[in-house]
Amino acid sequence: MWKEIILWAHAVFGTLGVLAAVWLFVEVLNISETNKIRIRYSSVITAVFMWLSFILAGYWYVTWYPADKTIILAGPWKWAHEFFMEVKEHIFFMILLLGTYLPIAVHTTNPLSDKRVRRMILVIAALIALLGLLMDGFGAIIIMGVKLGLLPPF
Amino acid sequence: MEEKSMGKYAVGFGLSAAIMNVVSSLLVVAKEEYAPLMNWMKAALGHHWTTQGAIVMGSFLLLGIILSNPAIGKKWNAERLGNVILVSVVLGGLILMGFFLNEL
């Protein structure tokens, strides 16, 4: 039961992290004195969601993934592990680095007065959102690898 | 005057994130290609991925503190830092994808 809950929760928090990054992106595009506080909140929320996703995904990966890995490697979509899982588990570190840096960048700069700071924050938020979506896609392929590995041979 | 909108922590931790994006990918290649390193990483914290996470995030914090130096901060502006971060993600991603594609 915990296996399924944690697997589900890591994807939910990752998706919420993507949504928070998109929220921040839109706020920065429309920056003014009135939404500065929301930009600060959304940067922290992005980081918190990504860390929650990372901790849950890491626990699941270390504890339960070896069984799924065996199934994938014995099935027809071996590359679901050999490429997609290998890349996914390591690209996530980039999301974590960017997600941790995002609130530092937002809280220690003045995006309202400098267009170049706004651009930098937009780049970071966009990278987090795009990498997060990439993780979702890779996760779907990995799940398919497990499903196909469980099917009887044709 | 252009650099005033960037604090020293924004520059220091931004550079640290960019460096660690690439170093993390290089560490993946190193551990996959050099068995003693992989074995050490497995033994250190029980799983190579857990050890990699601790190394990457620990180094990010340490490097960020070291690079949060006003002298370094004066040499950087947000445009340049944003470009470096973008390039580091693309480069780190290409290293990872290229390596594992080659391993198929």
A80-136, pLDDT tens digit by residue?
999 999 999 999 999 999 999 999 999 998 888 889 999 999 999 999 999 999 999
Q: Could you report the average pLDDT of every consecutive run of 10 residues in chain B (104 residues)? A: 70 97 97 96 94 97 94 88 97 97 91
Q: Is B13 on the interface with A (CB under 8 A)?
A: yes
> How many other β-carbons are positioned within 10 Å of the β-carbon of residue A132?
27
Q: Which residues pair with A109 in a beta bridge?
A: B6
List chain B residues with CB under 8 Å of A109.
5-7, 10, 78
List chain A residues with CB under 8 Å of B20.
93, 97
Cβ(B27)–Cβ(A97) below 8 Å: no
Per the prediction, chain A carries an average pLDDT of 95
pTM above 0.80, yes or no: yes
List chain B residues with CB under 8 Å of A86.
96, 100, 103
- Tell me how many residue pairs between chain A and chain B have CB atoms under 8 A apart: 116
pLDDT tens digits for range A36-46: 999 999 999 99
Q: How many Å separate Cα A14 from the centre of its chain?
A: 4
Cβ(A10)–Cβ(A58) below 8 Å: no
Choose among A62, A120, A127: nearest Cβ to B78: A120
Q: Find the closest chain A residue to B57 by CA distance.
A: A97
Q: Do A87 and B9 touch (CB under 8 A)?
A: no
Question: What 8-state DSSP symbol labels residue A153?
Answer: P
List chain A residues with CB under 8 Å of B5.
109-111, 113-114, 116-117
Choose among B13, B25, B28: nearest Cβ to A104: B13
Preferred mutation among B45, B89, B90, B103 to probe A, highest tally of A CBs within 10 A: B89
Cα–Cα distance measured from residue A4 to residue A148, given in angstroms and rounded to the nearest whole number? 19
> How many other β-carbons are positioned within 10 Å of the β-carbon of residue A40?
15
Q: Return the pLDDT at B1.
A: 42
Smallest CA–CA distance, residue B56 to chain A, in Å, is 8
Would you state the structure tokens that stand for residue A62, as one six-digit string?
A: 């270390």
Choose among B2, B78, B93: nearest Cβ to A91: B93
Q: Return the pLDDT at A154.
A: 66
Q: Return the pLDDT at B4.
A: 57
Q: Which residue has the tokens 């996914």?
A: A88
Smallest CA–CA distance, residue A75 to chain B, in Å, is 15
Choose among A110, A111, A127: nearest Cβ to B89: A127
Return the CA Rg of chain B.
16
Cα–Cα distance measured from residue A105 to residue A107, given in angstroms and rounded to the nearest whole number? 6
Q: Confirm whether the ipTM is greater than 0.90.
A: yes
Q: Find the closest chain B residue to A118 by CA distance.
A: B78
